[in-house]
Amino acid sequence: MNSLSTIEKSAPVLKIAEPAKNYADMTDAELVIACQANDQLAMNQLLTRHERTAIAMFYKLAPDWRDNSDLVQEAMIRMWRAVPKLKNPYAFKTWLNQIVNNLFYDELRRRPRDTQFVSLDERLTSDTGSDMGTREIASTTPQPEDKLLTTELSDVLEKAMANMPPRFRKVAMLRDIEGYSYEQIAQITDTELGTVKSRIARARMKMQRTINAYMQDAA
């Protein structure tokens, strides 16, 4: 009995290796969650995937700027530093867009300008010389109640997305949040194109029902 016990104690413990992750097939949200678990390979994939995204965003904002490489690099650095603290992984693309916009406007303020500024307090006159008052611009600032509704709806949609079956949630995120084509999603998920379209349609119906129910309750 003692000898058997000794053999059992000295026998090596076999560990089943976890399957290697295919980072290229992971959604942005999945990569963000992995990054927040200190997965450096997930971070590398996220940076590689969205360097071109940042390039495209800067080009859209300033097509006349010839070299945005420094801005793109700074965007990647900011993303690398801040992604561990991103509260909503499913809003990654919107968050990255905000980083790019902030860098763009910072750069815009640093560059020399030839723009002529017009004071809103300057009096306007008609062609006949009569006083037309001052310029008025309607405020586009969201009202407090609008901000509250937007925040609440965002929370409702986030919960609805999280509770959706994985096969629907993944394709919906790839299409409506990350902007992949149906064909790309079919390749990423190794799913028939018709199945991808059907799942996306059903996911959108679920989200629309959630929105309709929320708006009825808020009315």
> For position 180, which CATH number holds?
1.10.10.10
Which of 88, 110, 132 is the endpoint of a domain?
110
Cα–Cα distance measured from residue 179 to residue 161, given in angstroms and rounded to the nearest whole number? 16
Cβ contact 131:144 at 8 Å:
no
Residues 71 and 151 in one domain: no
Number of domains in the chain: 2
Q: How many CA atoms lie within 13 A of 34 on its CB side?
A: 18
Cβ contact 99:83 at 8 Å:
no
Which of 110, 132, 154 is the endpoint of a domain?
110
Residues 32 and 104 in one domain: yes
Comparing C-alpha atoms, which of 140, 64, 150, 76 is closest to residue 108? Answer: 64
Q: Lowest-confidence range among 97-111, 188-202, 203-217?
A: 203-217
Structure-block tokens of residue 201: 């349609």
pLDDT at 41: 92
Q: Is position 171 within any domain?
A: yes
CATH of the domain at 93: 1.10.1740.10
Residues 153 and 105 in one domain: no
Per-residue pLDDT band at 134 (split at 50, 70, 90)? low
Residues 156 and 88 in one domain: no
Cα–Cα distance measured from residue 203 to residue 161, given in angstroms and rounded to the nearest whole number? 9
Q: Is position 69 within any domain?
A: yes
Cα–Cα distance measured from residue 207 to residue 156, given in angstroms and rounded to the nearest whole number? 10
3-state secondary structure of 136: coil
Cβ contact 95:86 at 8 Å:
yes
Cα–Cα distance measured from residue 37 to residue 46, given in angstroms and rounded to the nearest whole number? 14
CA-only gyration radius of the chain, Å: 26
Residues 102 and 162 in one domain: no
Cα–Cα distance measured from residue 84 to residue 16, given in angstroms and rounded to the nearest whole number? 29
Residues 25 and 70 in one domain: yes
The boundaries of the domain holding residue 81 are 21-110
Place of tokens 């010389």: 129
Q: Is position 31 within any domain?
A: yes
Q: What angle do CA 81, 32, 101 make, to 5 degrees?
A: 55
For the stretch 95-118, pLDDT in tens is 888 888 888 888 877 766 544 444
Which of 68, 84, 110 is the endpoint of a domain?
110
Residues 151 and 209 in one domain: yes
Residues 199 and 150 in one domain: yes
Residue 91 burial (CB count, 10 A): 18
Where does residue 36 rank: exposed (0-12), middle (13-18), buried (19+ CB within 10 A)?
A: middle
Residue 27 burial (CB count, 10 A): 21
Judge whether residue 32 has pLDDT over 90.
yes
For the stretch 43-96, pLDDT in tens is 999 999 998 888 888 888 777 777 888 888 998 998 898 898 888 888 898 888
Q: What share of the chain is helix, strand, coil (3-state, %, to 5)?
A: 65, 5, 30
